[in-house]
Amino acid sequence: MPKIPFFDIIRGERRAGVHYARPLEDEGASAPRRRLVIVGNPNVGKSVIFNRLTGRYVTVSNYPGTTVEIARGRAQIGDTAFEVVDTPGMYSLRPLSEEERVGRTILLNEHADVVLHVVDAKNLDRMLPFTFQLIEAGFRLVLVVNMLDEAERLGISLDLTRLARELEIPVVGTVALTGRGIDRLKEVLYEYARAGA
């Protein structure tokens, strides 16, 4: 498990987005070739990121045998089509609730080409243990550090470049509500999907 000096990472780095990912244009687009699963604690902005990636191509249904709703959508990023799955909020791979059991089942039973772990920038140290679990479980992971604006208002800045180096996974900073960092996230997903093809 990576050992990260949190207070060294809380310093400051911001990355500009690159505008070359595009939304899926119409229902006739090719079937998804990759599956992207979004995970994270409740109230970290997972659904906003899901909506930013999928736009209007969304279905919501109960997971079989449960009352837990799962949102699925499609996104076209570069020349790669994705099915995007927004899992219920979860804190770890050790489920304590029906929602967490469904989230873990999706992760373990539905092949995810990429897993997005969305975390709250204000509470990074509390959320990274779940990141470590996902890394140890062998998922192809991208860490999305969301709510950077709220962290900045509190005087917190994060060295995301160093965090990516320490974790040895891509790390992207976002403010999902305004769209900041979403183009960079799409760029990372495009590059990651091509590298894993």
Q: What is the DSSP string of 9-68?
A: HSS---------------TTSPPP-EEEEEEE-TTSSHHHHHHHHHTT-EEEEEPTTSS-
Q: What is the CATH number of domain 26-195?
A: 3.40.50.300
Residue 140, SS3 per DSSP: coil
In the predicted model, residues of the chain with pLDDT beneath 70 are 1-32, 56-58, 62, 67, 196-197
Residue 62: per-residue pLDDT:
66
Cα Rg for the chain, rounded, in angstroms? 16
Q: Is 172 left (phi over 0), alpha (psi -120 to 50) or beta?
A: beta
pTM: 0.82
Which of 155, 109, 114 is closest to 134 using CA atoms? 114
Is the distance from CB of 191 to CB of 169 less than 8 angstroms? Answer: no
Cα distance between the two ends of the chain: 27
